[in-house]
Structure 1
Amino acid sequence: MTGLVYPPTGFHFLVGFELFPQTVQDVRFQEVSGLNVEMQMESVKEGGENRFEHQLPVRSKYADLVLKRGLLIGSGVYQWAKNAFEDFTFQPVNLIVSLLNEQHAPLLSWHVVHALPKKWDVSAFNAEQNTIAIETLTLTYRYYNTIRI
């Protein structure tokens, strides 16, 4: 009898940037979103056919990748984003988002190609709440490849 196979949990993951220098904290994020792709379609009308329009695929469109974590000053990722926003020095990097199993080995990974910082946001400071400061980094990228292990 085989054991039950459950879908993997979404809380054990890491993000590895192909960027140097890096710190140990540069792979740790609280949340990753935006790993989605949508096929852009073109409508084509056929003469004499009034019931529908043909939908033809044109190209893939990838959403922005959004990374959230506790605010870290001095990390390699922070310096990379800071160089882009403050000095207008853009260095495209690739990164890998990996969903991990109980042994910390990748179950599934996404290789994100040619990422650039698009937006950097720091959460609100509030003297009435006991929360950590969260930074949100939004990246634009060309595409990603899914890597099945």
Structure 2
Amino acid sequence: MFTPPLGFHFRVEVLGITPVADDLRFTEVGGLALEIATEDMPEGGENRYVQRYPGVAKYGDLVLKRGLLKDSEVWNWARRCIEELDITPRDVDVTLLNPDHDPLMTWHVVGAFPTKWSIADLNASANTFVVETLTLAYKYFRIDKS
């Protein structure tokens, strides 16, 4: 009987960045999405429907979340890209792991660069961790099913 893999055991690597301490310990990954754009063309003389034609592939933004770190090479990369417009695209690997920590599947995200960084709202009446969110635009991803 097939059992789908669990989604809580994964690893994120920003290639070309040497991480410090817990730099790549993201708690949430979102935005691994692929869709095809369509172009609508009205049919001449036919008012009941619109023809839809396939266009190019579109990829969503990669959204990474983790607890706020005071010292981070990933943050330094994001700051340089956003504040100084020193855009240095990096490839990012998101790897789903099995219970033995071996790769099950890896999404190789190509040409990613930061477009947004934010932290969760600070709230004196809540007892929660401060979470930072990093949003990355990218060209495309490839899937390696190990």
TM-score, normalising length from structure 1? 0.89
1:82-130 residue CA offsets vs partner (Å, 9 max, x unmatched): 1122222111000111111101111111110111101100111222222
21-30 or 127-136, larger mean C-alpha shift = 21-30
Aligned residues with identical type, % of pairs: 45
Whole-angstrom distance in 2 between the partners of 1:63 and 1:128:
34
Whole-angstrom distance in 1 between the partners of 2:130 and 2:67:
6
* 1:70 lines up with 2:60 in the alignment: no
User: 8 Å contact 1:16–1:26 — kept in the other structure?
Assistant: no
Q: Which residue of 2 aligns with 1:114?
A: 111
- After superposition, the Cα gap between the structure-2 partners of 1:103 and 1:48, relative to the gap in structure 1 and judged at 3 Å, is same
Q: Which residue of 2 aligns with 1:87?
A: 84
Gaps of 5+ in 1: none
TM-score, normalising length from structure 2? 0.91
Query: Helix, strand or coil: the match of 1:27?
Result: coil
Opposite residue 95 of structure 2, the aligned amino acid is S
1:1-45 residue CA offsets vs partner (Å, 9 max, x unmatched): xxx221011111111111223224233111100000110012344
- After superposition, the Cα gap between the structure-2 partners of 1:124 and 1:50, relative to the gap in structure 1 and judged at 3 Å, is closer
Q: How does 1:1-149 map to 2 (within 5 A)?
A: 4-47=1-44, 51-149=48-146
